[in-house]
Structure 1
């Protein structure tokens, strides 16, 4: 029998009286044939979805097939009914030291044993495989004492931290923030983004390093001028060159190039713990066909569903469509969070209205703590839908049975197809949904294989200077050395300044230095400040940034340095955040909706003002210091102001609590109880104590719930 025929018979199987003998014989034949292996495994998973329709003898046969395809976790609920040989194979795959009753499937066990043998492993496997369990199992063995886990986003730091604290509270010290240090715990785990790895000077004796979503090493994966991919490559290089064993994991990658300097096992696997059905509609991009189909699907689907959109603007339009025409009833369970968002941000922001109807929104314009809370509500099945962009595919775990791909980017590049495959892999969840469903409304992107290039091992004439500047001479090619020598020949700036400002092109740095020299009297007056700048000093600083440094400020409605300074002052005043968002609506002359205008401004705060801008300000601080010292002029120092901006003029430790899921709007209400603190560890201890009497705190029930959720796993 063929795969398609058995799959069809399983779909039609409706009760215990059906004739299943031929079906199981055909299934057994495909499993034992083993080529292609995925067919037998896929059909076994589909059979498990119909498990109750088989009699006792048939179930026993099916469980033996589960063992044959290596899906041991699915045997757990039926241990009393399996044969001795199946039970023996199951016991061999038990996971020790993590949680009672946990068991590996075949691929997890293979990777785990390679790592315990001291091998480096690069694993490419689908989202549903459970790659992170291997990390936890390695930790549980106590073989490694100092571990770095590099993840791409703050949201994934929070999710991973919660998991590790829940499982290893007594044996692991989990470090996420610059103020935290290693202690005398049996194991210290540094859970960091690549930027934070590069900032730390206490990682010289790390013995195990993990990179989650390792495809981000490839420069083509990064749309933000390659800076994050460069930083990830440098972070990996920093740890691997000193001999740390590594485990790189990610999905849907066929090959990796540039790691020739290391011995490693590359495992590209199509192993999956769920079956996925993809329904193609091939609807037109223009017109109302996709809107109508989306409304139809949402009316039919009753289980947790992700709705993927290509951009925040598209996600906003979809959200408004469902609000206006989806006929969703208001949820009592989300009324308080809806009211809180409306009060603390703006009532016109459709994120507040959507969540009141049981629809979460997850993209770069939604504040991090709110994103995390929406995922919590979704995984608890309080809400049924999350409208998301690519922010959701970067490792955030969800329990979705369905994925609706509403639209996709027009670009026909490799990462377009990769994103499509990755978001499709979010459908289904081991031990929850045997069969995931993907509804592809548009025509799917062209299928392409993905090879990840590690840029340090593949240097050429196009290698970013910011990457080469941080490499030791022995890791540079002759061509790279020549390019660096040419870049360092500029007389205006020292080599150390160029290296410290490696995220900026050398010619842009020279432009700024030339202008400072050309306008020496003016620049001396407006750039030699320390602490906080006065208005004219801020305006001059912002003008240099706008006119000389690479940025995308016009996309946010900022067309001059003076406008940039206005935004900084508006946030520095901290008086009326709603008024700041209202101004975005009032002065938006485009065809954006009020909600889109608000989302754009929140994205400006997150991506520019608290992330890119502080880094650029520090770069200018180094440039002006270099220029003025050579002229015998006492320079300014913008470090304090850059830190203030990075934290949006809050205490840095309160900003750190945002990463734990507590928005600053809430933490500022009880900051007197937890500040001052010397570091984040001390702050968290004070928070635990304060939370014991939270019932008497001046917080709303929703705010108390947020704090208690955070305190449970710190």
Structure 2
């Protein structure tokens, strides 16, 4: 069953050969795409091959397993490897592929069955300037565009979602940006340094709230906040760094009682078998708590995600891996840092993360709790400035360096190709790699 906004997107998808839409994290974008794929299969008599493009390998199994439950047409095989088994080809099967950009590039570079549609999930990754994977996204989709494959883009909280169509020379009429959220989200700031707690109204005003559980010890302050505000519901605690993620999780779990839960016991056995018998994730899992970051084995992360969705795990401490499209909603999200690594949140970053507070069909409302535990850089240390994105609920238009030519982009690409010095001597390694990668890609497509 669609909401009105979801139905509007679905109807416009049906009338377009390419399309770009955006909506809040709680909007149900994956549900719309799955429904549209079912529509295509029915209306076109199961004649098309389809790709869902995800930003990281970590998302492949999540999306693949969901599709296997939703797409029950026997003619269709759900695959994630860029080589189609000969057995399937001989049977005249059709395919839905779940690919990363690298796998799509590999698939399109070989003699494989033609692709008719590509759905780009988390399309905002195309615009990330400090991510070496953004050029791969661009390259993969340029290859698809050259083969006249229909492109559909889905992204969270992008005000000008037509930018993805502009990047690939498609009409910008086929776009829709949804701003209203299906879940009410309450916004709070608890400052354990200044001993202040406020709630933000819809028009951005601050209302003082009664809260007196501040503590000079950051771990006690966090424990108090989760115990009081997160009682009897599931909570996500965003910590930014791996050290903070593990440290806060261990300290929070330390004095809690162990749980008797066979599902947790199975995951504990898996951790002990595949990682180490005394790995400290075990100490957390015994208490119904987990931490989640990119360095954990993918199999362990996936099990943690399943147990969190099933409510076996009550609290999950995490880094920005949760921004990669992992579908983990919770009643509350505690945000301890306003940065990803050393970089401050962008508007899109913050609302993509904060949007996981509450989820359509699960909650009527969710709580976003920005928590300042200590006076440290990128820990809400400049509240007046840092909280602007929280108070205003505003997401500015996004840009692509391919279109703005910022930082003398095309001159530096040319310098990279000709092995000349870049225009700035103090260029970071990530920027150098970006220029070099785009140089190779644009040379290929020239």
The TM-score bracket by the shorter chain reads: 0.7 to 0.9
Report if aligned partners of 2:20, 2:164 keep a CA contact under 8 Å in 1.
no
Tell me which residue corresponds to 2:418.
486
Distance 1:339 1:268, change over 3 A: same
**SS of match in other structure, 1:292:** helix
CA separation in 2, counterparts of 1:188 and 1:303? 40
Higher RCO structure, 1 or 2 (CA under 8 Å, sep 6+): 2
Query: Shift of residue 338 of structure 1?
Result: 1.8
Query: Which residue does 1:247 correspond to in 2?
Result: 152
In 2 relative to 1, CA 249–215 (structure 1 residues): closer, same or farther, beyond 3 Å?
A: same
2:194 & 2:92 partners in 1: Cα distance? 55
The structure that is strand-richer by fraction is 2
SS of residue paired to 2:254: helix
The equivalent of 2:56 in structure 1 is 153
Find the counterpart in structure 1 of residue 376 from structure 2. none
Determine the C-alpha separation between the residues in 2 that align with 1:233 and 1:410. 23
Q: Quick check: 2:413–2:436 contact (8 Å CA) kept in 1?
A: no
Larger of the two Rg values belongs to structure: 1
Matched, 1:188 2:95: yes
Question: Which moves more between the two structures, 450-459 or 146-155?
Answer: 450-459
What displacement does 1:456 show? 4.5
Equivalence for 1:166:
69
CA distance in 2, matches of 1:198, 1:459: 25
Change (3 A) 1:284 1:241: farther
The residue number in structure 2 matching 1:350 is 280
Q: 2:114, 2:415 → 1: CA distance?
A: 32
Counterparts of 1:460-609 in structure 2, within 5 Å, are 462-463=408-409, 483=415, 486-487=418-419
- Listed as ranges, the matches of 1:206-605 within 5 Å are 206-220=115-129, 222=130, 226-255=131-160, 257=163, 259-260=165-166, 261-264=169-172, 265-284=174-193, 288=216, 290-300=218-228, 301-325=231-255, 327-333=256-262, 334-409=264-339, 415-442=345-372, 443=380, 444-447=386-389, 449-458=395-404, 462-463=408-409, 483=415, 486-487=418-419
Q: Give the secondary-structure state (helix, strand or coil) at the position aligned to 1:267.
A: strand
Once the two structures are TM-superposed, the CA of residue 404 in structure 1 deviates from its matched residue by 1.4
Structure 1 residue matching 2:240: 3-state secondary structure: coil
Question: How far is the alpha carbon of 1:414 from its aligned partner?
Answer: 6.5
* Contact 2:20–2:165 (Cα < 8 Å) also in 1: no
Residues 173-221 of structure 1: CA deviation (Å, up to 9, x unaligned): 122023435735664112101111112225683221111111111132x
Q: What's the RMSD between the two structures over aligned residues?
A: 3.2
How far is 1:125 from its partner? 0.8
1:198 counterpart residue number = 105
Q: Which moved more, 1:232-241 or 1:375-384?
A: 232-241
Deviations 1:129-156 (A, max 9, x none): 1111221122212246021211012221
Aligned length: 374
Taking structure 1 as the reference length, the TM-score comes to 0.48
Residue of structure 1 equivalent to 2:198: none
TM-score normalised by L of structure 2: 0.75
Cα distance change on mapping 1:284 and 1:248 into 2, 3 Å:
farther
Distance 1:396 1:185 in 2: 33
How far apart, in 1, do the equivalents of 2:187 and 2:103 lie? 39
From 12, 16, 27, the equivalent of 1:129 is 27
- Residue 115 of structure 1 pairs with residue 13 of structure 2: yes
